[in-house]
Amino acid sequence: MTPILTINSEVIVSERSGYGENGTVRVKNPHLASMPEDFLYHFDLGTKTHNLQAMFGDVKFVCVGGSANRMKTFAQFMHMELGLNGGGGDISDICAGTDRYSMYKTGPVLSISHGMGVPSISIMLHELIKLLHHAKCRDVVVIRLGTSGGIGLDPGTVVVTGTAVDSFFQPQFEQVVLGKVITRSTKLDKDLAQELLNCGREIADYLTIIGNTMCTYDFYEGQGRLDGALCSFSNEEKLAYLKKAHEAGVRNIEMESTVFAAMCHSCDVRAAVVCVTLLNRFDGDQITTPHAVLLEYQMRPQKLVSMFIKKQLGLLKYN
Ligand code: R2B
Ligand code: URA
């Protein structure tokens, strides 16, 4: 492993050491190979109890998002878009044995919910990456579809993340491991982001841009909101921080992108983040937009990603 940076704690290492064999997903854990069984507890799936290769070996696109309902809607939408609805029947939750996450599969597309925040998505990603590894999936793309607060953008704008940054606007994710801070790079796949942007540009109904996404550990004070149960700063301080974020290229704020980018990058998985903005944080903190409008906003990343998948599968032409 090659040291790449040192930031106020431990040496930071680049764990990227080339692609897995034949485009397979790498796990970076020497202990896994000697385990007689790997049970993915939060998915209620295991290497002894399930034939993971038969169930998931053909997966090419994994789409993840916070809400279980939204990811079910996405799976049903993709099922239609891929012309698979003739097969009939409802798409069932593969993780029905647990209520931690929901998972749906339609053709080569897996749709999984990850809950809110870094700890929740990180648990899901550990198990997802191992699942893709055990299933011997190849050339998989993982995309997070989400909601966010915009900075200087009209509500409803779709932001494809260029770089995921932390609350100090740094492209890194810090994790405490055995009492020490480990820092990982949050590099995302630039070509994939560009391809997604191109799809967004073909959809004329709303604006799609590439911008930096700031990931925070909290929705309220952590995102500079004045309307939480606690608030330790003034309106002026809040606006100054948001202005600084904007100057650093941040165009939206959400709560999962840094760990998502860091884990995918470390395991050689091509990854992207596509989030719609629900409000412009320069104008306020509360989300009071009518439910129907929010639902339409949430479909925007789904439509964009559906277009991308269909192009990749040759079901739609590239312009
Ligand atoms: C966006 O929206 C959620 C908070 O409302 C959080 O999961 C995120 O990243
Ligand atoms: N999600 C967030 O994390 N922040 C917002 O402002 C809106 C959605």
Say how many Å lie between the CA of residue 117 and the centre of ligand 1. Answer: 7
Neighbours of 212 (CB within 10 A): 21
In a domain, 28, yes or no: no
Is the minimum distance from the CB of 219 to ligand 1 under 6 angstroms?
A: yes
Number of domain units in the chain: 1
In a domain, 119, yes or no: yes
At 223, give phi and psi (nearest 5°): -105, 15
In a domain, 287, yes or no: yes
Say how many Å lie between the CA of residue 180 and the centre of ligand 2. Answer: 30
Atom of ligand 1 nearest to the CA of 257: 9
Say how many Å lie between the CA of residue 216 and the centre of ligand 2. Answer: 10
* Residue pair 266/187 in contact by the 8 Å Cβ criterion: no
Joined together, the tokens standing for residue 130 give 């191992």
Say how many Å lie between the CA of residue 167 and the centre of ligand 2. Answer: 14
Give the percent of the chain with pLDDT over 70. 92
State pTM to two decimals.
0.94
Asked if the model's pLDDT at residue 9 lies above 60, the reply is: no
In a domain, 79, yes or no: yes
Enclosing domain of residue 225:
4-12+39-312
> Which residues form the pocket of ligand 2, taking CB atoms under 6 Å from any ligand atom?
147-149, 219, 223, 253-255, 278
In a domain, 22, yes or no: no
pLDDT per position as a tens digit, 298-318: 999 999 999 999 999 999 988
Which CATH number fits the domain that encloses residue 107?
Answer: 3.40.50.1580
Is the minimum distance from the CB of 301 to ligand 1 under 6 angstroms?
A: no
**Selection from 36, 43, 37, 60 nearest residue 132 by Cα:** 60
In a domain, 317, yes or no: no
In a domain, 24, yes or no: no
- pLDDT given for residue 82 in this prediction: 97
